[in-house]
Structure 1
């Protein structure tokens, strides 16, 4: 299974630290759960899910 990186950006330019997750499905689940718990934040955040190219990428897990 391919790992995935999840991050989000706030309108003022701040970007969250990258989270390296076990799969794209896990990244989508975390994004959706976060949006459900914080609807006001969900309206302003822009999410990004990308493929992790290296098992030892150094991103937070």
Structure 2
């Protein structure tokens, strides 16, 4: 079934718009993912620092580090 010029133009416009939407969404996903990775790294660093303090306190008290 052949498309009329109007139908072809409609579908081409739809194709172009949705391609741009997908590209924009992919960009947003990557930006959000980068933020999450950065926050996870911050939390991991804080956790490691707390573990070092906890380990030091255990040693000073002579108790087992769980």
In the superposition, the TM-score normalised over structure 1's length comes to 0.31
More strand by percentage: 1
In the superposition, the TM-score normalised over structure 2's length comes to 0.29
| Higher CA-based Rg | 2
